[in-house]
């Protein structure tokens, strides 16, 4: 019994240490941000790596999520004879929840792993120490541009996901299932609010962008410099990002809706 308690206390302590270290790491990144903005070329390259190269997976996933949302929504709404509301259902679900959350999860899988393993390999092959030797701060040169690239990419990717999803819902709902096109768009425009729905979705994806990018660069930067360590860092990135995005999503939604 005592053993178990000690183990639990140790695990909690270790978790808090890692959490604190990540926050200190975030402070160091933020301190390096103004300098990094003077070299936009580095950031552009990272926006390309984490944003542009994720476009295909985000766009196609968005399209199919929207299409399946329309199928499911039509099926349930038909029971109430309310298929005209299909546009509202699809748009609200996409803009408020699915867009930011699914994009963050896909981003963790597509870009977060790439970031973590890239920085981890730099650590394992002593490139980061090499930079330090040359008096180049690896945080400013390597970590900050990747972090900023992720933050810039995420809201844009989420917006593209939602837009593609609504397009997919339109494709299935209006073109395939024959929901009236006029009521599809007009009921959507009546019910979806610019501030409450679209802006809160963008805010969410921005927060997820910070969480996903921070976890990826933190895990990569602090990975154990072996082949196994890099692979473990990559795995931890995906697991921790998925968990923290889903938990953050609940907290943000509760605050934004304000009904809990």
Binding flag, residue 45, other proteins (CB under 8 A): yes
Binding flag, residue 202, other proteins (CB under 8 A): yes
Stretch that binds other proteins, among 22-30, 67-75, 133-141, 150-158 (CB under 8 A): 150-158
DSSP states of 69-128 = HHHHHHHHHHHHT-GGGHHHHHHHIIIIIIHHHHHHHHHIIIIIHHHHHHHHHHHHTTHH
* Phi–psi pair at 259, nearest 5 degrees: -120, 10
Q: How far is the CB of 153 from other proteins (least distance, A)?
A: 8
Binding flag, residue 162, other proteins (CB under 8 A): yes
Q: Are the CB atoms for 181 and 109 separated by under 8 Å?
A: no
Stretch that binds other proteins, among 6-14, 40-48, 212-220, 245-253 (CB under 8 A): 40-48
Among 73, 120, 138, 155, binds other proteins (CB under 8 A): 155
C-alpha span between 100 and 213 (Å, rounded)? 14
Sequence-separated contacts (24+) of 230-236 with Cβ below 8 Å? 230/117, 230/120, 230/121, 230/123, 230/124, 231/117, 233/116, 233/117, 233/120, 234/113, 234/116, 234/117, 234/120, 236/116
Q: How far is the CB of 174 from other proteins (least distance, A)?
A: 14
Comparing CB distances to other proteins, the nearer of 158 and 230 is 158
Binding flag, residue 77, other proteins (CB under 8 A): no
Q: How far is the CB of 238 from other proteins (least distance, A)?
A: 23
Residues in the site for other proteins, rule: CB under 8 A? 41, 44-45, 47-48, 51-52, 55, 80, 82, 91, 95, 152-153, 155-157, 159-160, 162-164, 166, 185, 188-190, 192-194, 197-198, 202
């Amino acid at each position: 019994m005592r053993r178990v308690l000690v183990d639990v206390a140790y695990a909690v302590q270790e978790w808090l240490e890692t959490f604190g270290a990540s926050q200190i790491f975030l402070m160091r990144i933020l301190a390096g941000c103004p300098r990094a903005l003077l070299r936009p070329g580095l950031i552009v390259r990272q926006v390309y790596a984490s944003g542009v190269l994720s476009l295909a997976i985000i766009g196609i996933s968005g399209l199919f999520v929207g299409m399946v949302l329309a199928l499911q929504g039509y099926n349930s709404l038909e029971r109430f004879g309310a298929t005209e509301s299909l546009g509202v259902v699809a748009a609200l679900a996409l803009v408020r929840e699915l867009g930011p959350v699914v994009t963050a999860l896909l981003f963790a899988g597509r870009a977060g792993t790439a970031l973590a393993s890239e920085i981890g390999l730099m650590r394992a092959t002593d490139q980061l120490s090499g930079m330090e030797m040359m008096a180049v701060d690896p945080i400013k040169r390597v970590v900050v541009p990747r972090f900023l690239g992720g933050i810039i990419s995420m809201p844009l990717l989420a917006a593209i996901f939602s837009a593609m999803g609504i397009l997919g819902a339109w494709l299935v709902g209006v073109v395939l299932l024959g929901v009236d096109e006029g009521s599809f768009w007009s009921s959507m425009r009546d019910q979806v609010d610019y501030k409450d729905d679209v802006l809160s979705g963008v805010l969410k994806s921005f927060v997820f962008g910070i969480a996903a990018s921070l976890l990826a660069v933190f895990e990569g930067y602090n990975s154990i410099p072996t082949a196994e360590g890099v692979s473990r860092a990559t795995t931890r990135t995906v697991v921790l990002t998925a968990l923290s995005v889903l938990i953050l999503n609940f907290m943000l939604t509760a605050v934004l809706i304000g009904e809990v």
